[in-house]
Structure 1
Amino acid sequence: MKYVLVIPDGCADEPQETLGGKTPLQAAQVSHMDAIVSQGILGRTDTVPASMPSGSDVGTMSLFGYDPLTYHTGRAPLEAAAQGIELGAHDWAIRCNFVTIAEGNMASFTASQLPNDVGEELVGLLQEETADDLQWEFHQGVSYRNLLIYRGQSGDDPPFDSGTLTVPPHDLTDQPIQHDLPSGRGSELMLDLMERSKKLFSKSSKNQNRSDKQPAATQIWLWGQGSRPALKPFHEQFGKTGAVITAVDLLRGLGRLLGWEVIEVEGATGYTDTDYAAKGRAAMETLKKTDFVVVHVEATDEASHEGEVQEKIKALEMIDEHIVGPVHDYLKKQGEYRFLVCPDHPTFLRTKTHSHGYVPFGICGTHVRPDQATSYDEVAAGKSNLLLPKGHQLMPFFFGTLTN
């Protein structure tokens, strides 16, 4: 049996006035996703516990069958794993975004998609600034996404704890930052580094010489802190080998921690210009050697963060045409299979932020008895009697004996 999960990140949304009261999923032409439902079942699940902040770190952990209330320690440790950064028992990882703050507002949580060469110069300046403090390590990622590692010592009190509060910068788009700065234990360390970064960034010639349409990064934004997680390997948990196709470090890291193969795809960007067809081809090739393949696409989430409804619809249609359709056709020719489509969380165009709430899932394949649903969207899923209140219930349900 072969298994595939396609994650259109953050695709679940609200009805839009500009779409005549339809959600983007309803407005998009997604005939292959609809076929998954028509040939199988439609339900809904809640991937993000109400007590936790909504994000892909929590949502995808749920989707992969691990209760985030038990296993989640923070987003940054997962991304550290993606970069091959080992965390000791006393270490902490922190997400370090390069952002643009204008008049006290989060003008751009990506610093206008900061180029890698500019990011390299900025990381160098940050590391030089903290060279005398051996506990801090800055690690360059891709574009605006970077990491800060705190190396703790045995016997020392940890600098952070569960009461350390930070806010993802993408949840503050076009909003004031004043009331969402780091707070709680260790926040003074973060705030000090964030303040020091302002002067450093003003000294970077590459950063300051960007065009008016791409304003400079003004500082770092620290968030998503966490210690090393203890995850049981996926093969031990579910008896399946796995692989993940993604352009996002978070998913790469989680995959590595679960013992999956991480498939790198040329042209996969983590943005709306990603090579959808290349991801579809990679999925089919990977299925030849692996039981379970996850294809994650960030484009739908990015479109929501930017409030671009038509870009979100376009991304959905590209996922449907170039990934869901071809991979489903391939599976049907190979023998026994199951196919699952489900986002990791809702991301609302209205707020440009991740949200809590149920997301729709569709499953078809071997031993899946079709229900009466015919379309894959939030409204149709809301009418379904198939309800999994906890997101981590979905993976054992997907692998189990389905008789719905």
Structure 2
Amino acid sequence: MKYAIIIPDGCADEPQESLGGKTPLEVARTPAMDAIAKAGVLGRANNVPAHLPAGSDVANLSLFGYDPNVYFTGRAPLEAAAQGIALGAADWAIRCNLVTVEDQTMKSFTAGHISSEEAKELLATAQAELGSSLLEFVPGVSYRNLLLYRGSQSTAPFTKDTRATPPHDLTDKSVADDFPRGPGSELLNDLMERSFALFADHPVNVARRAAGKLPATNIWLWGLGRTPALKSFRELHGLSGKMITAVDLLRGLAALVGWDRIEVPGATGYLDTDYAAKGRYAIEAIPTTDIICVHVEATDEASHEGKVDAKIAALEAIDEKIVAPLHAALAAQGDYRILVSPDHPTPCRTKTHSHGFVPFAICGTGVAGSGASAYSEPVAGASSLSFDDGSKLMPYFLRSQLT
């Protein structure tokens, strides 16, 4: 049996007035996803417990079958794993966004989708001026970077009670009341405050302003934690896997659960990603793994920008260039099963992740069809198949018979 998982990140949404009361998923032309729902089972899953942050870190742990109440320790450690960074028992990883804050308002949590090359220059300056034997700034991809705290249990100022707001939760909102708080927050706030002056006249920002682009006004620190002790996916579910993604969070999760990672040229983690290349690489991987997983960030990015039309376009590209060819290739090679599911909702109205159920569809060998009319939030909501604990979906998907 071969398995495939397609994750259109954050694609679940609310009815839109501009769409006549329908969601982007309802309006998008997605014949391949609809065919999976019609041929198999359609349901909904809640991947984020109410008391945990509504982020991709928690949600994807659930989606992979790991109870986040047991395994979640923070987002940044997963991204550190993506870069092969080993954290000691008392080390902390902290997500370090480059952002644009003007008049105490979060204008852009991506600093205008700053390039990786520009980010590297800014992080080098941050390391030279703010870093130390304890603090290491590590460049990543675009605005997504890390700060490592290399301490000891006697010196680390942070605890599980340290809180920091994700910057994508603050788009077009005041940041005045959302700076880090709790143990160790003084250090985080000091670094963030000092970065304003450090970046103000930095050559990268001088050039960006001259080109009419948003500057990276400062760093924003959040998502901190220590490396989780995850069982391997094979130990938990008995199967091997490979991951296709352009996002370090998913790369890191794959590394920690023992999956191989496939790097696809042209995969950007944004709306301009090469959807067709992701589909081709997924098909090529089928013979060499039990599970191939394709994660696409574009739908989530469109939501963060409040772009309904872009979200619809991304859904249609995922359907045409990934779901359709991958499903056909799976069916042609023998026994298979395919799952389509976002990790969490990201409403275009709020421009941020939210708690709540997401629709999933499964079809393939041993799956009895339920006759669902389409793959969408309302149709899934009417199904009797529901997982209040989203971590139960993966073992359900891998069961020998689904009825």
Q: Give the drift of 1:157.
A: 4.6
**Matches of 1:210 and 1:75, distance apart in 2:** 29
Partner of 2:378: 379
Answer with 297-306 or 121-130: which moved more. 121-130
**Matches of 2:218 and 2:204, distance apart in 1:** 14
Partner of 1:275: 274
Aligned: 1:195 with 2:193: yes
Structure 2 counterparts to residues 133-152 of structure 1, below 5 A: 133-152=132-151
Q: 4+ runs of 1 displaced by more than 6 Å?
A: none
**Matches of 1:359 and 1:120, distance apart in 2:** 36
Report if the CA contact (8 A) 2:119-2:139 is conserved: yes
Q: CA RMSD in A?
A: 0.9
Spell out, residue by residue over 1:74-121, the C-alpha distance to the aligned partner (whole angstroms, 9 max, x if none). 000000000111000000000000000011100000000112222111
Answer with 306-315 or 209-218: which moved more. 209-218
**Matches of 2:45 and 2:384, distance apart in 1:** 11
Partner of 1:18: 18
Partner of 2:60: 60
Spell out, residue by residue over 1:296-339, the C-alpha distance to the aligned partner (whole angstroms, 9 max, x if none). 00000000000000000000000000000000000110000000
Q: Give the drift of 1:379.
A: 0.2
Spell out, residue by residue over 1:219-268, the C-alpha distance to the aligned partner (whole angstroms, 9 max, x if none). 00000000111000111111111010000000000000011000000000
Partner of 1:171: 169
The letter for the 1-side match of 2:175 is I
**Matches of 1:160 and 1:6, distance apart in 2:** 36
Structure 2 counterparts to residues 4-403 of structure 1, below 5 A: 4-131=4-131, 133-153=132-152, 155-211=153-209, 213-403=212-402
**Matches of 1:402 and 1:178, distance apart in 2:** 53
**Matches of 2:227 and 2:27, distance apart in 1:** 41
Q: Give the drift of 1:372.
A: 2.3
SS at match of 1:317: helix
Spell out, residue by residue over 1:312-367, the C-alpha distance to the aligned partner (whole angstroms, 9 max, x if none). 00000000000000000001100000000000000000000100100000000000
SS at match of 2:79: helix
**Matches of 1:356 and 1:207, distance apart in 2:** 36
Report if the CA contact (8 A) 1:95-1:147 is conserved: yes
**Matches of 1:401 and 1:358, distance apart in 2:** 25
User: Mind listing any 5+ residue stretches in structure 2 that lack a counterpart?
Assistant: none
**Matches of 1:53 and 1:130, distance apart in 2:** 29
**Matches of 2:10 and 2:389, distance apart in 1:** 17
SS at match of 1:146: strand
The letter for the 2-side match of 1:282 is Y
Report if the CA contact (8 A) 2:39-2:371 is conserved: no
**Matches of 2:143 and 2:230, distance apart in 1:** 28
Spell out, residue by residue over 1:183-237, the C-alpha distance to the aligned partner (whole angstroms, 9 max, x if none). 0000000001001111111231122221463121100000000011100011111
The letter for the 1-side match of 2:166 is P
> Quick one: percent identity of the two aligned structures?
59
The total of aligned residue pairs comes to: 402
**Matches of 2:401 and 2:218, distance apart in 1:** 51
